[in-house]
Every structure is written in structure tokens, then in C-alpha cells.
């Protein structure tokens, strides 16, 4: 049963073209191969990026392609990286990504975690000296695809205020957990530990929407709201910080969001031997980003037969779905369901690419002297 | 260097007596032994309960003693339980607690997780058919005490609204993570996935404080605030639900708190073979509570020498401490620091026990015909 659904509001006045996702993946992969990334890795990066677009997380989709491309072009991301397993102790391991592409490093990490989970019941792999890896949920879904539970954490460049402080100290450090189900969609929780990811502020800027009070504070600790362009600029200039999940102070649990972000960083950054906090760099900069990831896989069958687990999860989901709906809510959602419906919609109808992103992609393809292969789907 | 600090405000008009914590532990252990709990287990339960009081989490301290005692007296908690490891696959295991005391089951679970982490790098143990286990942080600190990272999750009886729904579907399902440090305090994050734990509402009732808008909503989905007694009563009658971390709806990330709570329950309740959601019972009821726990230990030394990890954590902590303080904040805190300072204060000065709790404890001791051993420390 197909249901048309778009997780992300599309700007009504902006022109979109719908692009077939396979064509888009092919083009993005070609772009990375042209930049000397080996075919297999280029395919992985393209898959992660275009999957974000399919899922309606366009902030992490081809709109962010320039970031990775420029990282490679400036030499700040190493396409000739030699990623190595530097520690390997039964159920756990540590990979040094040698400043290579985050998507490649995290995929290797999750593949190793899955293999370990199949042997030891659980596998945990840390990755150090990596780069921005796109959507965290992608790697958790690698585990659910094998019938395992997947957990993905990463640190990221500092944008978020630690509770009771001013300025950005923490990354938006997301937590992504995937739970396999018998029939799709798998449960997929993928959330920044901040009240919103920076991508949401970018989206609001694009849509011309107002930022509500409670998302961002300025350098003096005052809440700022309203014009998204102004607020986004202030964040980019380090003159504003996104609040942790739970908001400012402790009254509504801001110390919980702040604490979760701190913990994600301690495991992914400190324990992995990577950078942490304000030391985590941007993809395009004059020093390696030093991003650290955590990839965990857990074997359901170590605890109960898979079928039993599936039917128990199904019961729980149905119980939630049959709860009374809040009068102001549109619908009761299971984590990952919106992204899944968007993916189904966009697989069928094409990915809506805004005029500006489309033109920039064309320009990039020109610069790299690649053949333009995209046909608009109308 | 000793610093007097109390994490919890003491009610100014209420009479408190300061009790030596060792005497209190001894008395609480005696109470459980009188109820046919074997000495070792009685000591464990007493340690968990009195540690909550030491840490300034009095909602989980001796104030809650009756709940466990009544659970045993009504026969709903099984003191003759035979806890068994029912699944054991290298780095993971499953314990059936046979409806015994949660504190005993979770301690066994974390001890096994620690042993596994020492062999496999990580250990994950699920516990099913258990009961309320007190403060989650206690078990994570068992791991930090051995120089390991500890993670503790548990489900609990339903008090929290799932995003976009009415009524309590989820437990306050806490996440507790302990990070070892060279010198105390260890980092200890211990937080309900709801905006506040129910214990905070109990505390506000006791202190006569007003509940702010944004913590609780009524059965129609309207925010309720003000008188804590009224709101606490409504929660007890299932006519109000605590909001997930992030609040109502999705604008401030309420779906993140709701999703985290749901995930804690899927691992601890669904995957363990225990109860979940609205099926998790109260300690004193006519059916087993079916609480499920998750205990994880991670060996730091599988990734880097312990000293190196300690000094990196120390650097990060110092960087946070030297960040500019928010003008409205009292101080910049590291997770677990308030509880630690309170513990140091109360070890030295005694645990402040309110008159009502003191009298009830005396009454309980009378009922059980135990000798009263507490001397007030004045």
C-alpha cells in the first residue's frame, strides 16, 4: 500500500525537479570517482548522501555535497587514506580512518561490529581520525538489514552550548538506534542531542520560516528567535549556540541533552583517540577534522528467537498506534516511520531537488568535466 | 578539600535529623533480613537504597523503603527467587530474576557484564522478570569502580506520554552512564528520559513548590501546572502523564525523549523477554512487575591505556569548567558532581531524614520487632 508522504515541507514558491534516485546515486558516485575515490568507496558515499535525500533529510543530502567535495579538493580529506584496524580485542575494535571519508570509515566500522556481534553477541567498534559521515541512521540500518540492532554515535563540530555555559562547546552529537522488524519499516531513532540539528535551522532559513524561542541563544545567553537567516549567520560566526535537548538550564532537562552530547563525545572522541568538543574540526578547514564515531551491533538471537522478538515489537508498536491521539497531533508516529514513507515516496516519484541545488550540481559536474546524466522526472 | 553541598533543597520548616549512613545501612539491611532476605542480598538492597539518600536522591532512598517492604510482605516480590543465567553467549547474557529484588538482580547483571567486558572488551547483560531496582546510577558506578565504563537502563511502570498521544504509555525509563576518572568523582549521568522523574514531583509536593508548565499534561492533553499535590494525585490516578524530555509534540524535541524511552524499553523489556510499556507493574500489586534491565560494561583498556584515557577526560572536564558561565547559572557542573558532593557532605554530617520518614521508619522497625539502632547525629 503506497502512501504519498513528504517528511520535509517543500518551499511552495521554489521550483523543484524530481530526480530518479538511482541516476542521482550514479552521478554522485561518478563525482567522487573523478576526485580519485575508488569505485567501491565512491558508491558508499553516494549511497549515504542520496539515502539522506530519499529519507527527507535534505540537509544531509546532495545539498551538502560541496562540503565533501571541497574537503577533498583542498586536501583536508584524504582520499588515499589507509584505514586500519589498530586495536582488535574479541568483541571490540578501533579503526584509524587516516583522515579519510567518514562514510567509508563508518561503514567499515559497522560491518566489523556486525561480524563481531554474530560471533560474540555484541560488537562495538570505535573510529578515530575520521570526517563527517552524513546521517547516523544509515549505519544503524546496516545492522537492521542483517536482523541486528544497530547503534551509531558520532561527535561533530561544536555548535551546542553545554548547560550553564555560553558559546558552542559540544557538537550536535547524534544518537541513532535501529531495531529490526519483520516487515518494514525498521524502527529508526536518529536524533541530534541538541534541541534541533543545525540542518533544521538551515531548512527554516530556506523555507523563510521563523525560529521559535528556545532553540538558540546568543553569546550573552539570551534566547534569540525569529529570522532564520540572521540566526543561522550568528551560529556560523560562533556568536550563537544551539541549545541542548531540554533547553536552557536544568528546569526542563537541558542538562540531560547536554550530558548525552558530552557522553557521545567521550566514547566517540575521547576513548577513540580522536578530537573532542571544540577541537573537532569542519570538513573544509586547514586541519584534519578528527571526528570520532561509535558503531555497535547487537544480536537479537542471543536473547530470543528472531520471530518472537519481531512479534513482541509488533505488539508494542500496535499498542502505541492504538493509544488515544493528542488533539493537536496529526498522527502517532513510530521513530523512523516518516523517513521511511518519504523514502518510498521518493523512490517512486523521484527526489525533489530545488532549483539552486540543481544548478549547483550542474556547475560542479561542469567543473569536473563529467557527463550530465540526470533526466528530470516530471 | 571538603565542600558542604546539598543537591536537594531541604524543606526549611520541616524537622530533619541527621543519621549516620552506616547505621542506616545496617538498619535497612536488618529490615530485609527480617523479611527473609539472605544477608548478602539484604546488604546489597540496603546499599542501593542508602546510597540514593547519600547522593541526595531521597525519592529513591529510605522514603521508598515501604514500597520494597510491602512488595515482599504481600508476596508480590519473591525473596526466595532463584535467579538464573538463562542465556549466555560470549559477551552477552540474559538473567531471569524469578521476580526477585531488582537491586539484587541488577547487581548480579552488572557483575556479569564486568566479567565479560574484562574478557571480551564489552559485556551486555539483560535481566527479565525483575522489580524496581532503585537508582540506575548505582550499577554504572559498579563498573567505574573497576575502571570500566558502565551503562544501565531499565524500564519502569508507565507514567510518561508517548509523543502525540494522551495518557501514560512509557516509563520514565532512565539512562545511567558512568565514566571512570583517575580521581573522584567519576562522571555519572543518571537521568530519566522524561522531562523530570516522578521523584522530582514528589519532592516538589513535599517542599510545597509549584510545578512549572511543561512537565505534566492532563488526560485531555492540556498542560497542568501549579500545586504539586494535586498534580501528583492526578498522576497516581492515571489522569495525568509526565511529558518526555523535550516536552509536548516535536517542536522542542519531545519525540526524542519519547523515542529514547521507547528504545530503553525495547532493549530492557521486549528483548529481555520481560514486560513493556503499560504492562510493567508496580512493586506492590497483584501481579509480578516484570521489570527488565540492561547492564553494560566497556573496557577502556581495549582502546587505550587507562592513564591516557584519564588524562584526556581530565582535559575535557577542565575545558568545560573554564568555559564562560551563563549569567543566570550558579556554576558549571559535570554530570554526577552534585551527587558526589552531596554524598561527601552526608557521609561526614549524616543523612538528613525528615521527621515523617524518621517516624515511619521507627514504626516499621516496631512492626518487625527489630531493635532500634539509630542515634541522631546532632
Residue A62 DSSP symbol: G
pTM of the entire structure?
A: 0.97
How distant, in Å, are the alpha carbons of A216, A349, A354, A372, A373 from that of A376?
A: 38, 11, 12, 12, 10
Question: Å from B275 to nearest chain A CA?
Answer: 10
Contact A245 B256 (CB under 8 A): yes
Distance CA B283, CA B133 (A): 10
User: What whole-number distance in Å separates Cα of residue B304 and Cα of residue B180?
Assistant: 14
pLDDT of residue A378: 47
The string of pLDDT tens digits covering residues A46-68 is 999 999 999 999 999 999 999 99
CB A141 within 8 A of CB A178: yes
Q: How far is B94 from chain A (nearest CA, A)?
A: 7
Q: Hey, which residues 99-128 in chain B have their CB within 8 Å of chain A?
A: 119-122, 124, 126
% of residues, chain B, pLDDT over 90: 91
User: Is B92 in Cβ contact with A179 (below 8 Å)?
Assistant: no
Interchain pair B92, A126: CB under 8 A? no
Burial B164-176 (b: 16+ CB within 10 A, else e): bbbbbbbbbbbbb
Contact assignment for A316 to B122 by CB distance below 8 Å = no
Task: Read off the pLDDT of residues A67-80 as tens digits, 9 standing for 90 and up.
Answer: 999 999 999 999 99
What does the mean pLDDT of chain A come to? Answer: 96
Interface touch B302/A89, C-beta < 8 Å: yes
Collect all residues of chain B within an 8 Å Cβ-Cβ radius of residue A270.
309, 312-313, 316
Average pLDDT over residues A177-183: 97
Total Cβ atoms within 10 A of residue A328: 9
pLDDT in tens, A199-230: 999 989 988 899 999 999 999 999 999 999 99
Considering only A123-127, A308-312, B371-375, which range has the smallest mean pLDDT? B371-375
Q: How many CB atoms lie within 10 A of CB B80?
A: 10
- Cα separation, A336 vs B163, whole angstroms: 14
Give the residue among A159, A228, A171, A233 at the shortest CA–CA distance from A200. A228
User: Quick check: A9 pLDDT over 90?
Assistant: no
Average pLDDT (A121-134) is 98
Angle at A164 between CA B195 and CA B252, to 5 degrees: 35
Query: Per residue of chain B (378 residues), what is the pLDDT tens digit?
Result: 678 999 987 777 778 899 999 999 999 999 999 999 999 999 999 999 999 999 999 999 999 999 999 999 999 999 999 999 999 999 999 999 999 999 999 999 999 999 999 999 999 999 999 999 999 999 999 999 999 999 999 999 999 999 999 999 999 999 999 999 999 999 999 999 999 999 999 989 988 899 999 999 999 999 999 999 999 999 999 999 999 999 999 999 999 999 999 999 999 999 999 999 999 999 888 899 999 999 999 999 999 999 999 999 999 999 999 999 999 999 999 999 999 999 999 999 999 998 889 999 999 999 999 999 886 554
In angstroms, the separation between the Cα of residue A369 and the nearest Cα of chain B is 43
Judge whether A357 is closer than 8 Å to chain B, CB to CB. Answer: no
Alpha helices by DSSP H, listed for B35-101, are: 39-54, 65-73
B278·A319 Cβ contact <8 A: yes
Mutation test of the interface with chain B: which of A8, A266, A339, choosing the one with the most B Cβ atoms within 10 A? A266
B75: Cβ–Cβ under 8 A, 6 or more apart, which residues?
A: none
Q: Which residues contact A315 (CB under 8 A, 6 or more apart)?
A: none
- CATH of range A16-195+243-307+337-377; options 3.30.1370.60, 3.40.50.80, 3.40.50.150, 1.20.1640.10: 3.30.1370.60
Closest residue in A to B86 (Cα–Cα): A303
Q: Please report, for chain A, how many H helices and E strands are present, in that order.
A: 11, 13
Asked if residue B267 lies in contact with residue B153, where contact means CB atoms within 8 angstroms, the answer is yes
Say whether the ipTM exceeds 0.85: yes
Q: How far is CA A330 from CA A1, A176, A327, in A?
A: 20, 24, 8
Dist. CA B91–CA A290, nearest whole Å: 30
Burial A43-81 (b: 16+ CB within 10 A, else e): bbbbbbbbbbbbbbbbbbbbbbbbebbebbeeebbbbeb
Across the interface, whether the CB atoms of B320 and A267 are under 8 A apart is answered no
Concatenate the DSSP letters of all residues of B274-329 into one string.
S--GGGPPPSSSSS---EEEEEEEE-GGGTS-HHHHHHHHHHHHHHHHTSPBPTT-
pLDDT of res. B275: 98
| Residue A266 predicted with pLDDT over 60 | yes
Of A90, A196, A303, the CB nearest to B126: A303
Q: What is the pLDDT of residues B170-215, one digit of tens each?
A: 999 999 999 999 999 999 999 999 999 999 999 899 888 999 999 9
Q: Residue B199 and residue B205: Cα distance in Å, rounded? A: 10
Locate A109 and state its grid cell: 566500522
Instruction: Choose from B250, B316, B331, B339 for mutation: most chain A CBs within 10 A.
Output: B316
| pLDDT the model gives residue A142 | 98
Which residues of B, range 187-216, sit inside 8 Å of A by Cβ? Answer: 187, 189, 191, 195-196, 212, 214-215
Amino acid at each position: 500500500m503506497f502512501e504519498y508522504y513528504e517528511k520535509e515541507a517543500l518551499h511552495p514558491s521554489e521550483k523543484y525537479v524530481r530526480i530518479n534516485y538511482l541516476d542521482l546515486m550514479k552521478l554522485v558516485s561518478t563525482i567522487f570517482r573523478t576526485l580519485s575515490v575508488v569505485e567501491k568507496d565512491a558508491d558508499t558515499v553516494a549511497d549515504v548522501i542520496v539515502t539522506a535525500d530519499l529519507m527527507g533529510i535534505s540537509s544531509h543530502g546532495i545539498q551538502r555535497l560541496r562540503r565533501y567535495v571541497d574537503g577533498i579538493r583542498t586536501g583536508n580529506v584524504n582520499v588515499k587514506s589507509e584505514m586500519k584496524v589498530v586495536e582488535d580485542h574479541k568483541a571490540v575494535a578501533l579503526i584509524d580512518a587516516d583522515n579519510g571519508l567518514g562514510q567509508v570509515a563508518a561503514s567499515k566500522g559497522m560491518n566489523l561490529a556486525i561480524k563481531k556481534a554474530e560471533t560474540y553477541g555484541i560488537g562495538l567498534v570505535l573510529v578515530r581520525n575520521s570526517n563527517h559521515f552524513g546521517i547516523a541512521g544509515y549505519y544503524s540500518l546496516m545492522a537492521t538489514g542483517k536482523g541486528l540492532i544497530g547503534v551509531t554515535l558520532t561527535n561533530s563540530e561544536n555548535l551546542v552550548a553545554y548547560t550553564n555555559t555560553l558559546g558552542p562547546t559540544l557538537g550536535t552529537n547524534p544518537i541513532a538506534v535501529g531495531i529490526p522488524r519483520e516487515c518494514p519499516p525498521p524502527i529508526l531513532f536518529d536524533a541530534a542531542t541538541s534541541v534541533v540539528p543545525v540542518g533544521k535551522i538551515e531548512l527554516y532559513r530556506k523555507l523563510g520560516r521563523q525560529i521559535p524561542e528556545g532553540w538558540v541563544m546568543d553569546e550573552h545567553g539570551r534566547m534569540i528567535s525569529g529570522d532564520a537567516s540572521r540566526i543561522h549567520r550568528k551560529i556560523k560566526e560562533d556568536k550563537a549556540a544551539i541549545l541542548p535537548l531540554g533547553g536552557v538550564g536544568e528546569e526542563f532537562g537541558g542538562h540531560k541533552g547536554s550530558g548525552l552530547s558530552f557522553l557521545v563525545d567521550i566514547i566517540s572522541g575521547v576513548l577513540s583517540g580522536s578530537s573532542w568538543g571544540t577541537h573537532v574540526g569542519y570538513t573544509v578547514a586547514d586541519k584534519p577534522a578528527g571526528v570520532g564515531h561509535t558503531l555497535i551491533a547487537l544480536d537479537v538471537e542471543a536473547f530470543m528467537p528472531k520471530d518472537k522478538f519481531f512479534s513482541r515489537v509488533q505488539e508494542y508498536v500496535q499498542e502505541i498506534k492504538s493509544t488515544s491521539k493528542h488533539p493537536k497531533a496529526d498522527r502517532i508516529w513510530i521513530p523512523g516511520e516518516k523517513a521511511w514513507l518519504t523514502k518510498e515516496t521518493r523512490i517512486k516519484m523521484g527526489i525533489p531537488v530545488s532549483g539552486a541545488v540543481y544548478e549547483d550540481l550542474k556547475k560542479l559536474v561542469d567543473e569536473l568535466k563529467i557527463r550530465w546524466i540526470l533526466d528530470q522526472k516530471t
